[in-house]
A and B are shown apart, each in its own frame.
Chain A
Amino acid sequence: MKLIFEKSVPGRGMSLLPPCDVDLVAMPAGLERETMPQLPEMSETDISRHYTELNQHVHGVNCGFYPLGSCTMKYNPRIDEEMAALPGFTQIHPLAPADATEGCREVLDTAKRYLCEVSGMDDMTFQPAAGAHGEFTGVLLIKQYHDARGDKKRTKIIVPDSAHGTNPATAAMCGFEVVNIASAPNGCVDLEALKAALGDDTAGLMLTNPNTVGIFDENILEITRLVHEAGGLCYYDGANLNAVMGVVRPGDMGFDCIHMNLHKTFATPHGGGGPGAGAVGCKAFLAEYLPKSALMDGPGRLQVRGFAGNFLVVVKALTYIMTLGREGIPEAARNAVLNANYLMRKIQGTFEPAFDRICMHEFVLDLSGFKKETGVSALDVAKSLIDYGMHPPTMYFPLIVHEALMLEPTETESRETLDWAAEVFRQLYELAHKDPEFMHNAPHNAQIGRPDEVRAARNPVLRWQKS
């Protein structure tokens, strides 16, 4: 595809603004820009065709199956978009007076009430813009709590080795030392390892449950009890909340604070990498540490982003929650879990799950035996799926499973799709035994062949230059 700059023609443009109806003012001397930025010069047809071409080179949830584990690629309802595009939301200034923004506050208050109920928390902020941003916010609650008590010795955050990389990175950003603990053979928290790591220097534990191998940790009450007993707090990474919403609540598991990915669990679109929203909830005793905007709410609190967060994303999530309601929320969770188990059992017999037991909303395949046998790697299988129009699962995560492929079908896929996906996996399993070379070179019919990532890193070309 040509870049937009390669399509630019000097002198092209559109008629967008009227002539200025007041006198122009010169930029003060010494402050003028010296040369114009080289931005594209395009007609509206050029723009429309260019972005349509780009759009045709994107695989969205609307295009087909997207079982990207831990990302909850469920269908994103159109009505949610329509509601978030209402001028009564899009044209509201964040600093407009209170009597002009009643509706926005009703959205935030209502979303807070429902999400506190779902999570078992008492209070909430919508300031964080993403999951990792929510983690940062949540761990800052823990930090402030210990600081306010003058408990300066609590310098460590415990993270299981199955955790997403953002967990240790977050703890480090908050000034904590990270204590990684090994998982038990069943993929859950090793209670002995946890006990050994706990002490009067423990600030808290970061955990996701169901965990990153898709298993609900049955010892969860014991885990949170042990952390509390040591004087630490428990942070719930809500990445996997879709499995349990309306069925069991993190607050009832003993967690003190939580982030929820509204762009996963509550069906707001991922937008190719954002904007998301990472609502952070907490128990009442932490509420005084929730972030606030200095300009909207006055000084005195910390804040993690400008204004009130990704408000329009919250509108989408609220529309979704109101649509599902009290019955629809657990129904979605149960069917996410059912779909995952159904797909896992359908695939089993070819590729094998890392843990042969009932899973939650996702499961991990361990391809290490298969690779030894055929020479075909998890990467090769993932790339081969692209030729079938299926987005590959999450690869090589979690780190505790070798040659991992993590599949999360979500509740919005039909049985036909799951049957088809299992059939594709079966075909690839057979192909790997017959023609491994073909799979090493996959994909064969995609937008591009495998890209040379090493070259991209060694010789960085990070912008277009006029040749």
Chain B
Amino acid sequence: MGSYVPSTPAERQEMLKAIGLSDYRELYRDVPESMYLDHPLDVPAGMSELEVSRAVSAMAAKNKVFSTILRGAGAYDHYIPSIVKYIPAKEEFLTAYTPYQAEMSQGILQSIFEYQTMICELTGMDVSNASVYDGATAAAEAAAMCRDRKRKVTLVSAAAHPDVINTIRTYCYGAGEELRIVPAKDGKTDLDALKEMLTPDVASFYVQQPNFNGLFEDAEALGEAVHAAGAMYVMGCNPIALAIMKTPRDCGADVAVGEGQPLGMPIGYGGPYLGFMVTTTKHMRKLPGRIVGETVDSKGERAYVLSLQAREQHIRREKASSNICSNEALCALTAGLYMATMGPQGMADAARQSMAKAHYLADALCAIPGIALKYPGEYFDEFVVEMPKADEALKALEEAGILGGLPVEGGVLWCATEKASREALDRAAAIVKEVCAG
């Protein structure tokens, strides 16, 4: 049996005696006899560290690690610099709690303040929170913060990530409010349909940029329509694209959110990731989640604290705008560290290379007879193609250690990042060509 209890059996007996007891059962005297477990749990016996290491490693070995990943759809395989993997593993960062005691937590508080600043810089927005659980919950929380007494309906583009749409739907269901899906045309949000759907009861509209199909939306035009109808405009942005793409601020967004995973977090079978969430000064006090602010201490020195807590559940209880009481602090630290490590040039380079590689891959695939882009629009690092024998081709790629695109309705959604070398892309295209020719 493994154990992390330091006290020896003899010490435990002495401690029991010191509190006037002789047996552990007496500690649980309030537990009714009828429910006190009289048999061991149906869980295997405990293990030594070496045994457990073997057992869990064996599970990891049953997964297939691909040497090239050409699949995105919400989880992006970008290069993670070595130092970005190392620093968040430091035990102090790793094992501390939420920084309630500022006098013992300046390191965490400052890392979040720095993260907030970098997310504001990346998005062009004014105020960032300390992060939320992931991109989907960030979008759902954004929809909630846009509702008021008169405007309650949430509009979401059909071209957003299905998990994001479904998460917003869930939060709306909880609140008892309505969600309406704005249809897509040619893989992008249908602007005319949006205009018709912007009734006076609409609180906000959510669009993803670039969208689930990889396409750039006409974000400014969408924003103008939303504002003309008096609703709030929420954009979900890819943070790597933002290094070179027009900011949500410049597109008129009131709230910007996004999946922060590409900022130094491994794809990790879906998590942990982080959701970033930023707004304008005007809406600052509606922003949910933890926020770190600068102040001074009793000696007049600069210091950081959790701030604007009057919005939060531990003060407002059922009147709070959200129940969230944590963030993804270590992921926020990682994201800040990633952005500082890459720097503005490095981030732009990763974005340009991802975009270039995706276009190279698209050209190579579309040179194969029978394969063509499904949508006419411009795209970033993902694109959908219509292709014959898709299942067969993906299987052949898998056998060659390449994770190909994701089968989606009417095609395959491919992604390339700066990690994919030209050679790997050529190889992938050659395998697909061989299957299609066969």
Measured between alpha carbons, how far is A453 from B127 in the docked complex, in Å? 18
* A contact residues around B108 at 8 Å (CB): 54, 58, 272-273
A392 in the interface, Cβ–Cβ < 8 Å?
A: yes
In the complex, what distance in Å separates the CA atom of A463 from the CA atom of B307?
A: 12
Cβ < 8 Å to A, chain B residues 266-288: 266-274, 284
Q: Which residues of the other chain, A, contact B304 by a CB distance below 8 angstroms?
A: 451
Check A99–B298 contact: CB distance below 8 A.
Answer: no
B245 touches A27 (CB 8 A): yes
Q: Closest residue to B364 on the A side, CB-wise? A: A22
The smallest C-beta distance from A201 to any residue of chain B, in angstroms, reads: 15
Known pairs A37-B122, A81-B89, A272-B108; A338 contacts B165 (CB<8 A): no
Query: Is A305 a contact of B343 with CB atoms below 8 Å?
Result: no
Give the complex CA separation of A79 and B252 in angstroms.
47
Q: Given A118-B41, A118-B43, A313-B271, do A358 and B27 touch, yes or no (CB 8 Å)? A: yes
User: Chain B residues near A83 (CB, 8 Å)?
Assistant: 52-53, 56-57, 60
Question: B98 to A304, Cβ gap below 8 A?
Answer: no
Asked if A148 CB lies within 8 Å of chain B CBs, one says: no
B200 within 8 A of A: no
Bound CA–CA A270/B330 (angstroms): 8
CB-CB under 8 A for A37 and B121, given A76-B95, A103-B60, A335-B12: yes
Are B356 and A24 in contact, CB atoms less than 8 angstroms apart?
Answer: yes
CB neighbors of A among B148-172 (8 A): 161-167, 169-171
A contact residues around B327 at 8 Å (CB): 273-274
Contact across chains for A248 and B37 when beta carbons are under 8 A apart: yes
- The CA of A308 and the CA of B296, in the complex, are separated in Å by 41
Instruction: Using C-beta atoms within 8 Å of the partner chain, give the interface range for chain A.
Output: 35 or more
Cβ-defined partner of B246 (8 Å) among A20, A24, A32, A451: A32
Given A312-B269, A326-B43, A54 and B3 touching (CB < 8 A)?
no
Residues in chain B near residue A56, CB distance under 8 A: 92, 107
CA–CA, A274 to B291, complex, Å? 14
Residues of A within 8 A of B369 (CB): none
Asked whether any CB of chain B lies closer than 8 Å to the CB of A196, the reply is no
Identify A93's interface contact among B98, B103, B110, B403, CB under 8 A: B403
User: Assuming A102-B62, A391-B104, is B163 touching A295 (CB within 8 A)?
Assistant: yes
Map CB proximity to B onto A20-36 as digits: 1 under 8 Å, 0 otherwise: 11111101101111101
A174 sits at the interface (CB 8 A): yes
- B139 to chain A minimum Cβ distance, whole angstroms, is 10
The interface-forming segment of A126-134, A227-235, A370-378, A428-436 is: A126-134
B64 lies within 8 A of A96 (CB)? yes
- Measured between C-beta atoms, what is the minimum distance from B402 to chain A in Å? 11
- As a 0/1 sequence over residues 30 to 70 of chain B, the CB contacts with chain A under 8 angstroms (1 = contact) are 11101111001111111101001101110111111110010
Please name all residues of chain B whose beta carbon is closer than 8 Å to the beta carbon of A369 when the two chains form the complex: none
Give, as a whole number of angstroms, the nearest-CB distance from A439 to chain B. 14
A212 within 8 Å of B (CB atoms): no
Q: Closest Cβ of chain B: how far from A115's Cβ, in Å?
A: 9
Q: Is the CB of A463 within 8 A of B116?
A: yes
Please determine whether A455 and B79 come into contact, CB atoms closer than 8 angstroms. Answer: no
Q: How far is the CA of A51 from the CA of B111 in the complex (A)?
A: 8
Chain A residues within an 8 Å CB radius of B242? 33, 37
Which of B27, B98, B105, B134 is in CB contact (< 8 Å) with A334? Answer: B27
Contact B297 A450 (CB under 8 A): yes
Minimum CB–CB distance from B69 to chain A (whole Å) comes to 6
Residues A33 and B243 in contact in the complex (CB < 8 Å), given A14-B81, A39-B121, A463-B116: yes
Q: Which of A68, A103, A175, A345 contacts B61 (CB 8 A)?
A: A103
> What B residues does A382 contact at CB under 8 A?
101
With A and B bound together, what is the CA distance between A106 and B103 in angstroms? 43
Specify which chain B residues have a CB less than 8 angstroms from the CB of A269 in the assembled complex: 94-95, 330
Contact B45 A327 (CB under 8 A): yes
Q: In the bound complex, do residue A331 and residue B3 qualify as a contact, i.e. CB atoms below 8 Å apart? A: yes
Tell me the residues in window 234-284 of chain A with beta carbons closer than 8 Å to chain B beta carbons: 244, 246-249, 252-253, 267, 269-276
B270 touches A89 (CB 8 A): no
Q: Give complex CA distance A275, B320 in Å.
A: 22
A386 within 8 A of B: yes
Docked CA distance A33–B245 (Å):
4
B4 touches A332 (CB 8 A): yes
On whether A411 and B5 interact (CB within 8 A), knowing A272-B108, A464-B113, the answer reads yes
Question: CA A309 – CA B273 in complex, angstroms?
Answer: 9
- Check A90/B267 contact, CB under 8 A, given A58-B93, A273-B329, A295-B163: yes
Measured between beta carbons, the chain A residues less than 8 angstroms from B326 are: 130-132, 273-274, 276
Are B92 and A294 within 8 A (Cβ)? no
Q: Closest CB of chain A to B347's CB: distance in Å?
A: 7
* Contact, CB under 8 Å: A129 / B97: no
Q: Could you say which of B46, B55, B175 contacts A175, with CB atoms under 8 Å apart?
A: B175
B199 at the interface (CB under 8 A from A): no
CB under 8 Å from chain A, chain B span 327-375: 327-331, 333, 336-337, 339-350, 352-353, 355-357, 359-360
20 residue pairs from A and B, CB less than 8 Å apart: A17-B350, A25-B359, A42-B341, A51-B87, A54-B106, A63-B92, A89-B268, A107-B59, A129-B133, A166-B323, A168-B318, A221-B35, A274-B272, A295-B73, A303-B167, A307-B269, A325-B1, A326-B42, A327-B45, A446-B103
Using A309-B271, A461-B293 as known contacts, list a sample of 8 further A-B pairs with CB atoms less than 8 Å apart, ordered by residue number in A.
A56-B107, A86-B56, A93-B267, A94-B270, A174-B175, A270-B98, A461-B295, A462-B116
